[in-house]
Structure 1
């Protein structure tokens, strides 16, 4: 279902962001982003002069290479189009993200390494979305391994404790009492309620 019909309007700005997750032949994963900003009308840029409609003001690339455990192995940035000549100088600094782990505190750690004048606002902003894409890319692989390990432990007669999955309480579909949650983790119906 689309949004409601808008009022009459004119397009002024367009930001396109493409995000993709890849499984590499060496077992690592690449999460890539391509960000492009354009305007729908001519405008004057202090550095590049008159910009024509559809001409990219920003055209930037970012690649995170991660392990299955979400550790960043490498980060590469490139800027094809920028509003100022010095902007591409921030790209090499993004290699400082190697060693970070995508998870709680990731955005704070990113800002410590490439925040302010050490980085680029647009590249930093897209990193949060890339972290989400990393989770989405690796989820089926990680979940299958977790299920296989659980089955292996059960088959070996080991006691298997049940922890509340991190997804529970993260959105409307995974509310503790939602039909989705209870169908996926039926044992939660009898578990003590936790504060969300």
Structure 2
């Protein structure tokens, strides 16, 4: 169902976010996010003088390289367009995300490393979406592997514990979790029968 009809309005601010998940030739995964903020009008800026309509106010990138256990093995940030000349100075700090594992506690751990003055609000805001994209990318990798092995992802997929009770669909007492658990139990019984 789409949003309700919007009233007459004027567009002032655009934030475009693109996040992509890539399987690398070495088996690692890159999750790459790019964020760009623009205005539909020109305005003055104490560091840049003037920022013209359509010119990037914020133009930033974040890449996390993860392994198959969702552990960050490398992290980097780039800040090509910022409102303040001092902003890019924190980009190297995002390398400190290496060693964290995407799952429960990931955002808390990230805030401990790049929170407050050690980081950038805009790059930190990308971390939630980057984590979700990492999980979706890993799902895609497993789906391709299952297809190569002659099965389907649905046959082999179990709900990760980190997703339980994270939303309506993954309610631990709900129908989706019950269905997935029943399928997993059926697979377990079939494997036991085949082993006999």
| TM-score bracket for this pair, using the shorter chain length | 0.7 to 0.9
CA pair 173-87 structure 1, distance change in 2 beyond 3 A: same
TM-score, normalisation: structure 2: 0.79
Separation of aligned partners in 1, 2:168 and 2:124: 28
Q: Number of matched residues?
A: 175
Q: Which residue of 2 aligns with 1:97?
A: 97
Q: Which residue of 2 aligns with 1:59?
A: 59
CA pair 139-49 structure 1, distance change in 2 beyond 3 A: same
Instruction: Report the CA distance between 1:164 and its aligned residue.
Output: 7.7
Instruction: Give the gaps of 5 or more residues in structure 1.
Output: 147-162, 189-196
Which one of the candidate residues 180, 187, 193 is aligned to 1:184? 180
Q: Which residue of 1 aligns with 2:87?
A: 87
SS across alignment from 1:60: strand
Question: Counting helix residues as a fraction of each chain, which structure ranks higher?
Answer: 2
Separation of aligned partners in 1, 2:180 and 2:99: 33
Structure 1 stretches of at least 4 aligned residues deviating more than 2 Å after TM superposition: 140-146, 163-178, 180-188
String of CA shifts for 1:105-151, please: whole Å, max 9, x gaps.
111111111111111111111011101100010024357879xxxxx
Q: Which residue of 2 aligns with 1:13?
A: 13
SS across alignment from 2:74: strand
What RMSD, in angstroms, separates the aligned Cα atoms of the two structures? 2.7
TM-score, normalisation: structure 1: 0.79
Separation of aligned partners in 2, 1:168 and 1:127: 20
Q: Does 1:174 find its partner at 2:191?
A: no
CA pair 42-165 structure 1, distance change in 2 beyond 3 A: closer
